[in-house]
Amino acid sequence: MDFDDDIQLADIVKELSAVDDVSWGLYAFSRDRYREKVSEEDKLSLIKEAIAIGQEEARRISAEFGSSDPSEIARVLKLRIDSSAIQQQKGRIVFATFSYPDLITLMSEPISRALSSDEVRELISEEEIRNLMIGHEIYHVLEERRPALHTSDRKVVLWKFLGKEHTGTLGAPSEIAASSFTKTLNSSSFSPLILDIMLYWGYNREDSYNLYKEVIKFYKNGNCEKR
């Protein structure tokens, strides 16, 4: 089905809510600059590993701090949470950022645009969106503070010259683990990566719809291989 103006974001969100975490991981990998350097087998292995690491870290920190509330965890970690209307990096709209050493910034405009729909507000609240975003950024803070997590240092060989390997760092495992972390922390029934599409809808509906089609393609085409 091609895009048309009658397509509703609420219908897309409902369908995406059923997509499994591995399919979302494949979507995340499709955005990685070094994706072509990773075999499909290794890609699936890295995705499943990152999902498990994110889940385990969410359970660990909830038990350690006695809370699964992202704002409370941020407070204990001595992080500041601020808001900004909108921010772009390399031409792309950013929904939340972590600035070293202690600042998480949430972009308010994308959230308000998404929640301008009554149907979307029935599916997810502003508090839920904020908590998912805060949890995602908390994981990146933990990556900085706990190198043993390993999700931010997965490297791939780019080329070899005179017997020396030149490597690059994959970004997808970190993003997948952060998504898994905040999903577990918030007891969410769907992947937080859905926000990529939900929050971008208010800026470019057709591009957002095309992202939705990509995710659904991963979900439908890869189900048998992923299990």
Q: Residue 165 burial (CB < 10 Å; 0-12/13-18/19+)?
A: exposed
Instruction: Please state the pTM of the whole predicted model.
Output: 0.92
Q: What is the C-alpha to C-alpha distance for residues 91 and 83, in angstroms, rounded to an integer?
A: 20
Beta bridge partners of 104: 81, 98
Asked if residue 73 belongs to a domain, the reply is yes
pLDDT of residue 120: 82
Which of 37-41, 143-147, 218-222 holds the top average pLDDT? 37-41
pLDDT of residue 117: 80
Q: What is the domain count for the chain? A: 1
In which domain, by residue range, is 191 found?
9-226
For the cut 80, the answer to whether the pLDDT of residue 99 exceeds it is yes
Asked if residue 28 belongs to a domain, the reply is yes
Pairing mode of beta strands 80-84, 103-107 = parallel
Asked if residue 2 belongs to a domain, the reply is no
**Averaged confidence pLDDT in the chain:** 90
Asked if residue 49 belongs to a domain, the reply is yes
For the cut 80, the answer to whether the pLDDT of residue 92 exceeds it is no
For the cut 70, the answer to whether the pLDDT of residue 221 exceeds it is yes
Distances in whole angstroms, Cα of residue 132 to Cα of each of 21, 33, 91, 170 = 15, 25, 23, 23
Better-predicted residue by pLDDT, 56 or 116: 56
pLDDT of residue 90: 55
Average pLDDT over residues 6-19: 90
pLDDT of residue 226: 45
Nearest to 145 by CA among 79, 192, 193, 97: 79
* Beta strand extents in the chain (DSSP E only): 80-84, 87-89, 92-94, 96-99, 103-107, 155-161, 164-169
Asked if residue 134 belongs to a domain, the reply is yes
Asked if residue 74 belongs to a domain, the reply is yes
Average pLDDT over residues 201-221: 92
Average pLDDT over residues 117-146: 92
Contacts (Cβ under 8 Å, ≥6 apart) of 14: 123
Tokens of 52: 């498990």
Average pLDDT over residues 152-168: 87
pLDDT tens digit sequence for 46-88: 999 999 999 999 999 999 999 999 999 999 999 999 998 876 6
Asked if residue 1 belongs to a domain, the reply is no
